Amino acid sequence: MDRLTRSGALAAAGLAAALALTACGSDDPAADRTSDDRPATASGPATPSGAATADAAVAAAAAALAGTWTGTSDGLPVVLSATSGKVALSAGQHICQGELKNMGTVMIALKCLDGDTARTMGSIESNDGGKLVVSWNAGATDTLSRAADAKLPKGLPTLPAP
């Protein structure tokens, strides 16, 4: 059973990572650019200093969160994958995606594909690089460990050919 849980968690990590990397952008290349990509105007930078500080806080949190984190909650696998401030989460049967946002403190803001609201707004309580604790506004707290290897295990079942 432990091997099945571990395989399921790694498979979910791959799915979450794929969602984070492919489904979080728009078709408008200008909308995907960060404020650093936009040219500065003659009157000065595009953002006031307060917004620049908020952006720096989100960037620092994004760098610390980058990667894949796994654990269990109520006996079900929980996988969180983050890259460049974009976040994907698989918790049991729920798949959620979103991003880091500065709301006075850096929060994980997600929207679940099935409308679930248990993990839509989360606060990073601690992150020591190997262990991540996220408290969700709906009451759940997830303690996750950084995945040692982001590669999926060999021998997973494949879909039959059409």
Query: Per-domain residue ranges for the chain?
Result: 2-24+66-146
Integer CA distances (angstroms), 47 to 36, 50, 55, 103, 107, in order: 10, 8, 10, 17, 21
The answer to whether 17 and 150 have CB atoms below 8 angstroms apart is: yes
Would the CA dihedral through 47, 86, 134, 91 be positive or negative? positive
* pLDDT at residue 3 greater than cutoff 50: no
pLDDT digits (tens, 9 = 90+) for 47-96: 445 567 768 989 999 999 999 999 998 888 999 999 999 999 999 999 99
pLDDT digits (tens, 9 = 90+) for 87-133: 999 999 999 999 999 998 999 999 999 999 999 999 999 999 999 99
- Could you tell me which CATH number the domain at 2-24+66-146 has? 2.40.128
Residue 29 pLDDT: 42
